[in-house]
Structure 1
Amino acid sequence: MLLLISVSNKNIAQNIFATNKYDVRLIAPELTKNANIVKRDEDIFVEIKSIGKAYIYTKYAITILNAAGDYASLFYKSYDKLRNVSNIEATLYDDYGEKIKSLKKNDVQDVAGNTGFAEVGDDRVKLHNFNCKTYPYTIEYECTTELKGIFYLPAWLPIENEKYAVEKSKLTVLCPADYKLRYKSFNINKEPIIATVKDGLQYQWSIEKLTAIDYEQYMPDWYETTPLVFLAPTNFEIQNYTGTMVDWKSYGKFCYLLNQGRDILPENIKQKVHELTDNVTTTAAKIKILYEYLQQNTHYISIQLGIGGWQTFDANYVATKGYGDCKALSNYMYSLLKEVGIKSFYTIIKAGVNEQPIIPDFASTQFNHIIVCVPQPKDTIWLECTSQTLPMGYLSSFTSNRNALLIDENGGILVHTPTYKKTDNLQIRKINATVNDDGKLNAIINTKYKAEQQDKLHGIVNGISKEKIKEELNEQFSLPSYEINTFNYVSENTSLPIITEKIELTANNFCSITGKRLFINPNILNKSTYVLSEETKRKFDIKIKQEYIDIDSVEIIIPKGYKIESAPNDVEINSKFGTYNCKYTILENKIIYIRKLEKNSGTFALNEAANLSNFFAKIYKADRAKMVFVKE
């Protein structure tokens, strides 16, 4: 008993007299709520020496509360000829803030930064991890990054991910007194503190006590939910190229300058281009021929050499090698079109299904991909030059419905790429099935996927073996033990591509049989899985980015001798989020089930959360309704 009291008093004393700055008990309780990580302190100091030189001094400490936060313990810094990383220091602390160990110089790994798609590159990565598994623990890192050119400046993002809280974070930027720093902030209700200091002009932002953000389905983009500051230069220099970035026009002029003169084709390719197109009468047909020529004679790799992140390899390089990255392939396509007198635009864009959108009123380096835009009198043709299989004019969800920057000698013009509507994004399925007396289902399934609804399948069908496809199909459907007997895919490379899928499968125990009764859910393959729990408690507005239509027509022949005992009512749901209806018909021993879901895109106010939850809950329930048959 005396020992127990003694230990208890010790714990109380430790809590009261915690003096180590990284003692976990010093973290305010509201910061650990729903958090896997707490950023204890962060100090980022950006020193702009000139238009061609800057240093970033970074020091931060984070407490990892549990295994879900381990990903943040990895120190990962890329470098190349334009960036150098040095002065790396690190310390690991226990939950009381007591030092466990410090980083030794040879603990830092220095590895090639090339990905599986990269064939050539000079980028490398310095990385380190203490690999601590005793929670909670705290790590402190600091390093210096030298920028040999300020075409890109870092963003300040105190909350880096969901379930990530912040005790305090600070960004300081020091630049020459005559240099105008450009910045744009989000979700910060105060301007930076600007002061004249000995070495120039200083800008400073600071923030404290940010609670963790929980992930919510259909959240707005990250910059709309959390404090964030973007930085960008006015004048800059990089490897003897100078430019300005005050607006998109000047940004585009620099990009044009960087790639000027790299569109000269070798003579043999010029001859080939004219051989292919000189007798073709329409511009659209010429574009199609040249795009397919590109697809058939080149392939994609990533190239990261020198200023390869921004400057393309020339057209001769691609013609000779037969490969290139997005810049080189797009420049090559631009060059092919130019040779036959077709005006096109080298176009920079931020690609990715879930990427944050470009901030339209803040010209800066926000891009990661290049495509080609070919304006036509009645329409515009967009070309994704890294794909060997996409049809001419189709961008996919990878680059659709977002801002992009057209580049020419006059500078940059911000435009919007095509948005595919729900009437474009179709999944139309027809199922003919029979059910045996033992509840086994035999089904022939024909499905047509169109536009964005076929994007994922397009990558699978054109990217992996038949054996791998069958493995994926065996995991795809929510059916009791089933077997894929045959499958086949047919692609239609129209302007909105279509993939038709035919599958024959057998599913054991599809129906449950109890005594004389047969229980069947006629929605065989398209049960909604959306269930938004406690959505009335969400913090953010609702942002649904993609819209589509699903139509399922199912016919099931049941064993003879059964009659209907009970059937669900037809369902019709109308909402600003979309519409849903399903209908049941019995013709002798045949079930006919028709289901249609139209899902709308859009941004909806926070107070609509309960309505959204209710919309999906009704669909979830309707999709699982069963019909009951009784044996006569």
Structure 2
Amino acid sequence: MRKQLSIAILFFLVAVSQVVLAGDPVYPVSAIPDSLRANAHVVRRLDEGTVKINDLTDTRFVFHWVVTVLDETGADAAKLGFGYDKLREIRSISGALYDADGKLLKRLKQSDIRDISAVGDGSLMSDSRAKLHQFYYNVYPYTVEYTIELRYNTLNVIPDWHVQENIYMAVEKSKLTVIYPENYELRYRSYLYESKPVITTEKGNKTITWELNQLPARKYEVYPVELYQRTPTIFLAPTDFEMGNYKGKMTTWKDFGNFIYQLNAGRDVLPDNIKAKVHELVDGISSRQEKIRVLYKFLQQNNRYISIQLGIGGWQTFDAASVAANGYGDCKALSNYMMALLKEAGIKSNCVLVKAGKGEHTLPEDFPSSQFNHMILCVPGEKDTTWLECTSNTLPAGYLSQFTDNRPVLLVDAQDSKLIHTPVYGMDCNEQIRHVNAVIDSAGNIDIKSTTIYSGLRQDDLHERLHSLSQEKQLEILRKGLNLSSYDISNYHCTELNTPIPSIEEKLDIKGNNYATVTGKRIFLVPNILTRGGVKLEPDATRKSDIKIDFAYRDVDSVTITLPAGYKPESLPAPVTVTAKFGSYNAAVSIKGNTLSYIRKVEGKAGIFPAADYPELVKFYATMLRADRSRLVLVKE
């Protein structure tokens, strides 16, 4: 699906009221209150504009903003980038650059604006383009000002109002005004906006205005909830809307799903040769699940993902016959094609709209709107549901990765479109089970043989590397994660296992120099060789955000180390056992003869925890950090 306003290239998703520039505005940095400089890298001095809805095929936008960049970290906020296509027109752009004293340095020239194709490497056909500009100025602080006017010939999306685009942005003044016909219903949903909007009616139009002033930047906080749950945000959406020759409603999720269904109805007809191929592949198979697996494999082996965005193609799929003939399609086209393959085999399935991306686990479920950027396939069953990521040529049937797991999604159906939830992969799915056998000599050098099984979400990143990077690049990433000072990797091999939840076996042989510290007749040794986790978290008595842990996991390490002859233990780390709201940690060391055994087990829980629990999280992580790096001492007999 096409993202709202092509937000991948939209640096400023702001809604602001129309301002006519008169003369040279002055925005001296000295006028910014000290309260807004704290924790800030950029200050939005002014953010005003209008959204004017004339009818379902004519909406006008004027965005005007003034941003002061305090340092290099905030420099991206000084860039302009807006997308356009057959549904969206950029009518005008103006801008200016000011120094720290507010002195005008330069005005934007139309010849300075870059006009580029907004097509990525995965796109084949698209009418999407973008206009980009930046002043390339790096004498901090400085100020930029832009005004842009746009026209949309559809009302399927109204930009949301995000007062703060990131936590490092302070805001002096931000204002959103929407003007629309009195007989039209504009829908909105407020987050953390404590005032009521101002609503007036005049000459057949309603005007609604939101405004916020003097909003300070926020401190960085680890494991935060989504930004819209931390800073003031207004979500906006239409009721009735029109796109091309198609009309729809968005008042309920069912309405929106019905529109998507009608937009794509009749596009799942397969050519005769593919129908015959379906029957050739599955007619002799009795298991429904095996039929799904076989047809999904056929899709993966014969088709590839390429984005196609022409006209309303960001919403409407290319038909199944086109995918069959060309061997490619975007997320909609491939999901629709897979649905057609299953339909021919007598298996019902549904296309599903999803807000994809790691960590994108929530959306305002009580506010139906276009909040999605991707499509997958759902195959309902009597006892369970099979999910298919049709853009992947490598994922096994039935598995969704961190890209689309554990989130509300919109199932598209002829009669019963509704929000459902993608699978949650729990602790038993997301494991890292590691066995290490090592030998240490009297000089402190170590010879390591490790076998690790990664499963579920714990194998996602490794799976991606195996299928997209060379062996050399894989080793480069692996080396960055090893807590060894001097070593050589003599063997590295990964095997994808045929398990219900995807898993990968990694075999690793390492020769390390001076792993243990030898001082006189003593050897100092960290028994946790390869899995030193733990994160040092700074205490924060003023934490605001709730704590969001995305997924549960389990790590189990079994380490056996053969010690050099003639040494005995002088001191061993005490066993560590900790249980907290966030999980548990256990580690213990024992020595029998010249064989050391180290067992470590960590279980991490997922969920949303109140901000008041943050001190317990700091303590829990600090305990793991210390225990993972505990040393034992051997002394020569």
TM-score, reference length from structure 1: 0.96
Name which of 169, 177, 198 aligns with 1:172: 177
> Which residue matches 2:200?
195
- What are the ranges of 5 or more consecutive residues in structure 1 without an aligned counterpart? 1-18
Deviation (angstroms), 1:191: 2.0
Question: Do residues 483 (structure 1) and 483 (structure 2) align?
Answer: no
Letter of the 1:23 partner, please give it. P
Question: Do residues 310 (structure 1) and 297 (structure 2) align?
Answer: no
Question: Do residues 626 (structure 1) and 631 (structure 2) align?
Answer: yes
Name which of 370, 378, 395 aligns with 2:400: 395
Letter of the 2:175 partner, please give it. K
Paired residues for 1:507-586 under 5 Å? 507-586=512-591
Matched residues in 2 for 1:172 and 1:401: separation?
A: 35
Deviations 1:496-543 (A, max 9, x none): 101000010111111111111100001111112411102333222212
Matched residues in 1 for 2:495 and 2:245: separation?
A: 51
Letter of the 1:180 partner, please give it. E
> Which residue matches 2:430?
425
Paired residues for 1:350-499 under 5 Å? 350-355=355-360, 357-499=362-504
Matched residues in 1 for 2:243 and 2:498: separation?
A: 42
SS at match of 1:535: coil
Letter of the 1:516 partner, please give it. K
SS at match of 1:60: strand
Matched residues in 1 for 2:417 and 2:219: separation?
A: 38
Deviation (angstroms), 1:236: 0.5
SS at match of 2:162: coil
Letter of the 1:565 partner, please give it. E
| Contact 2:361 2:406 (8 Å CA) reproduced | no
| Contact 1:251 1:411 (8 Å CA) reproduced | no
Question: Do residues 267 (structure 1) and 267 (structure 2) align?
Answer: no
> Which residue matches 1:8?
none
Matched residues in 2 for 1:536 and 1:192: separation?
A: 33
Matched residues in 2 for 1:101 and 1:285: separation?
A: 65
Letter of the 2:318 partner, please give it. F
Name which of 41, 60, 66 aligns with 1:55: 60
Deviations 1:440-479 (A, max 9, x none): 1110010000101101111011222222222222222121
> Which residue matches 1:14?
none
Name which of 29, 41, 48 aligns with 1:36: 41
> Which residue matches 1:211?
216
Deviations 1:536-576 (A, max 9, x none): 33222212121100001111111111111111100000111
Letter of the 2:156 partner, please give it. F
SS at match of 1:308: helix
> Which residue matches 2:230?
225
Matched residues in 2 for 1:101 and 1:411: separation?
A: 56
| Contact 1:53 1:149 (8 Å CA) reproduced | yes
| Contact 1:390 1:493 (8 Å CA) reproduced | no
Question: Do residues 236 (structure 1) and 241 (structure 2) align?
Answer: yes
Paired residues for 1:66-85 under 5 Å? 66-85=71-90
| Contact 2:360 2:407 (8 Å CA) reproduced | no
| Contact 1:326 1:370 (8 Å CA) reproduced | yes
| Contact 2:534 2:624 (8 Å CA) reproduced | no
Which stretch has the larger CA shift, 191-200 or 481-490?
191-200
Letter of the 2:608 partner, please give it. T
Percent sequence identity over aligned pairs: 45
Deviations 1:299-334 (A, max 9, x none): 111111111211111101110111111111000000
- What are the ranges of 5 or more consecutive residues in structure 2 without an aligned counterpart? 1-23
Which stretch has the larger CA shift, 601-610 or 50-59?
601-610
Matched residues in 2 for 1:422 and 1:535: separation?
A: 29
Question: Do residues 280 (structure 1) and 285 (structure 2) align?
Answer: yes
Letter of the 1:97 partner, please give it. G
| Contact 1:391 1:494 (8 Å CA) reproduced | no
TM-score, reference length from structure 2: 0.95
Deviations 1:315-368 (A, max 9, x none): 011101111111110000000011121110011111111226221111100001
SS at match of 1:408: coil
| Contact 1:222 1:356 (8 Å CA) reproduced | no
SS at match of 1:453: helix
Deviation (angstroms), 1:56: 1.1
> Which residue matches 1:4?
none
Letter of the 1:470 partner, please give it. L
Matched residues in 1 for 2:472 and 2:537: separation?
A: 36
Letter of the 2:527 partner, please give it. P
Question: Do residues 24 (structure 1) and 10 (structure 2) align?
Answer: no
Deviations 1:355-402 (A, max 9, x none): 262211111000011111011111011111011111111111111110
SS at match of 1:477: coil
Deviations 1:34-76 (A, max 9, x none): 1000000001310111012201110000000001111111101
SS at match of 1:276: helix
Deviation (angstroms), 1:615: 0.6
Matched residues in 1 for 2:310 and 2:353: separation?
A: 19
Question: Do residues 93 (structure 1) and 84 (structure 2) align?
Answer: no
Letter of the 2:140 partner, please give it. Y
Deviation (angstroms), 1:216: 0.7
> Which residue matches 1:296?
301
Matched residues in 1 for 2:177 and 2:416: separation?
A: 32
Question: Do residues 185 (structure 1) and 190 (structure 2) align?
Answer: yes
**Alignment size in residue pairs:** 614
SS at match of 2:541: helix
Deviation (angstroms), 1:20: 6.4
Which stretch has the larger CA shift, 534-543 or 209-218?
534-543
Question: Do residues 339 (structure 1) and 347 (structure 2) align?
Answer: no
List structure 1 runs of 4+ shifted beyond 6 angstroms.
none
Deviation (angstroms), 1:199: 5.4
SS at match of 2:464: helix
Matched residues in 1 for 2:525 and 2:401: separation?
A: 37
Matched residues in 2 for 1:474 and 1:579: separation?
A: 28
Matched residues in 2 for 1:153 and 1:467: separation?
A: 46
> Which residue matches 1:326?
331
Matched residues in 2 for 1:86 and 1:589: separation?
A: 78
Deviations 1:275-295 (A, max 9, x none): 111111121111111111111
Q: 1:304 to 1:400 in 2, by over 3 A?
A: same
